[in-house]
Amino acid sequence: RKEVEQDPGPFNVPEGATVAFNCTYSNSASQSFFWYRQDCRKEPKLLMSVYSSGNEDGRFTAQLNRASQYISLLIRDSKLSDSATYLCVVNGIGRGGGSNYKLTFGKGTLLTVNP
Amino acid sequence: DTEVTQTPKHLVMGMTNKKSLKCEQHMGHRAMYWYKQKAKKPPELMFVYSYEKLSINESVPSRFSPECPNSSLLNLHLHALQPEDSALYLCASSQFGSGSTGELFFGEGSRLTVL
C-alpha cells in the first residue's frame, strides 16, 4: 500500500458544484494531516490542516477518519479560482526511524472548475 | 509573496558542471527542507535539516550535497548531474524541527535543466 494515496482525478466540474477529494494513508502512527494546493508551475501552499474532529474554513471542509486511515476534502460552491492540484499530505517516519518525521505528499488531484 | 527565497529561479547546466541552489528564510524557522518535483508528480523529499543538523537524507545520490551554513540558509550543491535530474527543486521551512509542526512554507522553486 502506498504511503499516501489520492483519487487520481482529474475532476472537471462546473462553477457552483460541490466536489470531494479522498485520500488514504498507510502509516497508522501518522499524527499530522494537511491539504495543500498547488497552482500550475507554482509552489505548494497550505490550504488547511485536518483535525480529528473535522474542520471547516469557509467553503472548505476537511475530515479525518483515523480508524479507516482516510482523509477527505469537500469544496462547496466551486469557483473558477479553485482550479488547482490538491495534495494530501501526511507525516510519517523518515529513514532511520525514531522521531525523524517527514511529510509525504500524495500524487495530487487536479481540479478544473469550468464556467 | 513567499517568505522563502530561492535562487536562481532557473538554471541550465551541463553534466560536468558544478552549481549550487540557494534558499533563505527569515521567519526564524528551525527546519529546512529540499524537495524535488518532476512534472505532474508530487514533491519528493530529499533532505531535512533540523536545528542546522541533517536530520533526514532520503537516500539521495551523492551528486546532490546539502549544506546548512546557518539557521536561515540552505544550499544544495550539484555536481555531475544527469539529464533525469532535471526538475523543480523546492526549498521549504517549518517552524519546528523534524516536521513536528506540519506546515511547510515553500519557496517558488529553482527549475533545473541538465543537458
**CB within 8 Å: A91 and B99:** yes
Q: What is the pLDDT of residue B72?
A: 95
Phi, psi of A102 (to 5 degrees): -135, 155
Residue B48: CA count within 13 A, CB half-sphere = 27
Is residue A31 pLDDT above 90, yes or no?
no
**CB within 8 Å: A105 and B48:** no
Neighbour-count burial of A9, counting CB atoms closer than 10 A to its CB (0-12 exposed, 13-18 middle, 19+ buried): middle
Residue in chain A closest to B96 (alpha carbons) equals A101
Pick the more confident residue, A56 or A97. Answer: A56
Q: What is the pLDDT of residue B84?
A: 96
Q: What is the pLDDT of residue A93?
A: 62
Largest Cα separation within chain B, whole Å, is 39
Residue in chain A closest to B102 (alpha carbons) equals A32
State pLDDT tens for residues B42-65. 999 999 998 899 988 988 999 999
Q: From the CA of A33, how many Å to the nearest CA of chain B? A: 8
Cβ-Cβ contacts under 8 Å, A23 against chain B: none
Q: What is the pLDDT of residue B96?
A: 74
Average pLDDT score over residue span A55-78: 95
Average pLDDT score over residue span B10-37: 94
Q: From the CA of A50, how many Å to the nearest CA of chain B? A: 11
Largest Cα separation within chain A, whole Å, is 49
Query: Which strand (E) or helix (H) includes residue A98?
Result: none
Supply the mean pLDDT for chain A: 90
Strand partners, A75: A19, A60
Q: What is the pLDDT of residue A9?
A: 85
**CB within 8 Å: B57 and A99:** no
Query: Best mutation site among A31, A40, A43, A85 for testing chain B: the one with the most B CBs within 10 Å?
Result: A43
Q: Given CB atoms, is B97 within the 8 Å cutoff of chain A?
A: no
Phi, psi of B2 (to 5 degrees): -75, 145
Q: Given CB atoms, is B48 within the 8 Å cutoff of chain A?
A: yes
The stretches of chain B forming alpha helices (DSSP H) are none
Alpha-carbon distance values, B46 to A59, A73, B34 (Å):
34, 27, 5
Q: From the CA of B1, how many Å to the nearest CA of chain A? A: 11
Cβ-Cβ contacts under 8 Å, B107 against chain A: 43
Cβ-Cβ contacts under 8 Å, B56 against chain A: 94-96, 100, 102
Q: Smallest Cα–Cα separation from A88: which of A27, A31, A23?
A: A23
Q: Given CB atoms, is B55 within the 8 Å cutoff of chain A?
A: yes
